[in-house]
Amino acid sequence: MQWRESDGVRWLEAELGTARAAFTTRTGGVSEAPFDSLNLGLLTADQPAAVAENRRRLAAALGFQPERIAHGLQVHGAELATHTHPDPPFRGSFGTHGVTKEPREQGIREVDGHVVSTPGLAALVFTADCLPVALAGPGGVAILHCGWRGLAAGIVAAGVEAVAATDAAIGPGIGPCCYEVGPEVLDAFAPLGNGITAAAGPKDRAEGDVSAPRRLDLPEVARRLLREAGVERIESAGLCTSCEPELFFSHRRDAGRTGRQAGLVWIEAGEA
C-alpha cells in the first residue's frame, strides 16, 4: 500500500489487479473536535453540513462524483448489496444522502458489504476500529465492514464468493495490542486455531492480571478467513486505529465519541 494525498486529504491506496482500494484517515476535512477533521459519518454528533463537505472533499480527491459512491446502513451482519447500474444516483450515496441523519427513512439498505461490477462506481464502508476489507476478482470488486460479528457471520466468505476474489487488502483497524474481548468472542474464532490472540498487555501486567490471553488479533482473523476462502494475494495495512490518534478515529479509544473513516474500492476506468 502507498500513502496518497490530494488537497490535504490523505489516504492509503492499494492496487488489486485492475482495481484499487482506498483507506481514509481523519485528515483533510472541516469537522471540529472531537470529530476533527475528515469525519465521514453522519450517525455521529458532528454537524451534518461538515460531514457533507468532508464527503465532497474525499470524492473529489479520489476523482469521483459524490453520487457515484455507494454506501449502506451498517448493522454488523454479513449481507451484501450489489451495484451494477452505470447511471446513479442510487439510494445510499454520498450525493443523495449528504445531509440526512435518518437513513432508514430514506430507504438505505442495511448491509455491511458492497459488490461493484461496473467501472465508474465506487463502494464504501465506514469504520472506527472495525476492519475495511477490499476484494477483487473476475466478478468485480467488493468492500466489507468487518467487525467480529460480521467476520463470525461469514461476511468474508460471502464477499469472496460474490466476486471470485483473488486479491484482498485489509485496511487499518484495531490491533491485538488494544482489542480486549470476552470469551464469547474468542470462542467464535476458536476453529481458526492458535495465534489469533495476544497475551495480556502492559496495563494488565501492571495491574497484576496475567491471566489467559484476552486480546483478539482481528486482522489475523480476517487474513485466515480470506485464506480459507481461497484468496491468493492478501495485503494488510498493519496499522492500529486505536494506537494512531493523529491518523484515525477509534470508537474504543474515544469511548464512542468519535468520527468515522472509510474503506473504498472501485474498478479502474477502462476495465470490466
* Three cell numbers, residue 51: 460531514
- The arithmetic mean of pLDDT across residues 101-126, rounded, is 85
151, pLDDT greater than 60? yes
- In degrees, rounded to 5, the angle at the alpha carbon of residue 94 between the alpha carbons of residues 7 and 174 is 75
| Separation between Cα atoms, residue 55 and residue 53, nearest integer Å | 5
The secondary element (H helix, E strand) that includes residue 153 is helix 148-153
Residues 6+ apart with CB under 8 A from 16: 134, 135, 136, 141, 167, 168, 169, 265
Inform me whether the pLDDT recorded for 254 exceeds 80: yes
User: What pLDDT is stored for residue 91 in this prediction?
Assistant: 67
> Lowest mean pLDDT: which of 15-19, 79-83, 96-100?
96-100
Task: State residue 108's pLDDT score.
Answer: 83
Single out the residue of 204, 237, 211, 207 nearest to residue 222, CA to CA: 237
Overall pTM surpassing 0.85 (yes/no): yes
Average pLDDT for the chain? 91
pLDDT digits (tens, 9 = 90+) for 20-61: 999 999 999 999 999 999 999 999 999 999 999 999 999 999
- Where residue 264 falls among pLDDT bands split at 50, 70, 90? very high
Category of 92 on φ-ψ map: left (φ > 0), alpha (ψ -120 to 50) or beta:
left
Return d(Cα 146, Cα 21) in angstroms, integer: 15
Residue 126 has pLDDT above 80, yes or no: yes
Q: Which three cell numbers stand for residue 28?
A: 483533510
Is residue 183 helix, strand or coil? Answer: helix
pLDDT for the residue numbered 93:
82
Tell which wins on pLDDT, 138 or 213: 138
Can you tell me the mean pLDDT for 251-271?
A: 93
Percent of the chain whose pLDDT exceeds 70: 87
Separation CA 189–CA 216 (nearest Å): 9
Question: What CA–CA distance (Å, rounded) separates 31 from 13?
Answer: 23
Residue 98: pLDDT over 50: no
Per-state percent for the chain, helix, strand, coil, to nearest 5:
20, 25, 50
Which listed CATH number (3.40.50.150, 2.130.10.10, 2.30.300.10, 3.60.140.10) goes with 2-172+232-267?
A: 3.60.140.10
- 107-112 average pLDDT score: 87
Q: Where are the domains of the chain?
A: 2-172+232-267
Residue recorded with cell 458492497: 114
Please give the share of the chain, as a percent, with pLDDT higher than 90. 82
Q: Which DSSP state fits 219?
A: H
